[in-house]
């Protein structure tokens, strides 16, 4: 059915099309207006999301730079606490060397013992503990067997003698204890 047959619009015989709005298209300007408003709203949300994205990228970049600075500072100044704990030990050793000419054997021994105590306390403050496994079962993860020796008094595969103590830093092995391990006679 044509527009002319339905009785709507202008007769088809004229060469130019009329500019009148057909009744079924009367809702188009309202729909167009709604769609234009929705487009404006979407543009505003897109701009907002883009700004949020840019802020998030900038924040991530700042976090990365801050972390890098923290790592550099830790590398540069990480030994500061360690050095501060060892300075009294160095002072004690310097005092012992300077007074060695006029000291007797007993005072030298006392000075060495005091210096050793200073060093032990410094290591303890830093979280370094001694591994002294005398009489314990041999543990290859924490002990290094230097040799085995027959023993009738000790359990087989236990530490008979500590040749050199081991050390741990906050539960992590720095150096295994070097030990002599017992074995059954025969």
Between the alpha carbon of residue 168 and those of residues 86, 138, 140, 150, 171, the distances in Å are 18, 17, 15, 29, 6
pLDDT of residue 3: 46
Q: What are the pLDDT tens digits along the chain (186 aa)?
A: 444 444 444 445 555 555 555 555 556 888 889 999 999 999 999 999 999 999 999 999 999 999 999 998 888 887 888 888 889 989 988 888 888 888 888 888 888 999 999 999 999 988 999 999 999 999 999 999 999 999 999 999 999 999 999 999 988 999 999 999 999 987
Q: Is 181 helix (H, G, I), strand (E, B) or coil?
A: strand
Domain ranges of the chain: 29-77, 79-126, 128-186
Q: What is the pLDDT of residue 29?
A: 82
CA atoms of 69 and 57, how far apart (whole Å):
18
What confidence score (pLDDT) does residue 9 get? Answer: 47
The full length of the chain comes to 186
Structure tokens at 24: 């079924």
pLDDT at position 126, please? 87
Residue with tokens 């994205």: 53
**Among 180, 154, 164, 157, CA closest to 132:** 164
The answer for residues whose C-beta is within 8 angstroms of residue 145's C-beta and 6 or more apart is: 138, 179, 180, 181
Q: What is the DSSP letter of 163?
A: E
Orientation of helix 80-98 relative to helix 105-125, angle to 10°: 180
Please enumerate in sequence order all residues whose Cβ is within 8 A of that of 186, keeping only pairs 6 or more positions apart, or say none.
150
| Topology annotation, domain 128-186 | Nucleotide Exchange Factor Grpe; Chain A, domain 2 (2.30.22)
Q: Which residues pair with 172 in a beta bridge?
A: 169
Q: How many angstroms separate the first and last alpha carbons of the chain?
A: 117
**65's tokens:** 């730079």
User: Is residue 99 classed as helix, strand or coil in its secondary structure?
Assistant: coil
- Those residues whose C-beta lies under 8 Å from the C-beta of residue 67, and which sit 6 or more positions away, are none
pLDDT for 10 equals: 47
Q: Residue 30: what pLDDT?
A: 85
pLDDT score, position 150? 93
């Amino acid at each position: 059915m044509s527009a002319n047959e339905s009785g709507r619009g202008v007769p088809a015989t004229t060469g130019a099309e009329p500019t009148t709005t057909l009744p079924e298209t009367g809702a188009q300007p309202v729909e167009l207006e709604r769609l234009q408003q929705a487009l404006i709203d979407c543009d505003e949300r897109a701009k907002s999301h883009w700004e949020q994205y840019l802020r998030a990228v900038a924040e991530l970049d700042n976090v990365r730079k801050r972390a890098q600075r923290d790592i550099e500072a830790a590398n540069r100044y990480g030994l500061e606490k360690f050095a501060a704990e060892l300075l009294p030990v160095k002072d004690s050793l310097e005092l012992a060397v300077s007074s060695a000419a006029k000291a007797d054997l007993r005072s030298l021994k006392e000075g060495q013992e005091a210096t050793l105590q200073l060093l032990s306390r410094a290591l303890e403050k830093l979280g370094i503990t001694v591994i002294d496994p005398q009489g314990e079962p041999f543990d290859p993860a924490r002990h290094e067997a230097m040799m085995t020796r027959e023993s009738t008094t000790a359990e087989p595969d236990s530490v008979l003698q500590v040749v050199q103590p081991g050390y741990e830093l906050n539960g992590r092995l720095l150096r295994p204890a070097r030990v002599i391990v017992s074995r059954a006679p025969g």
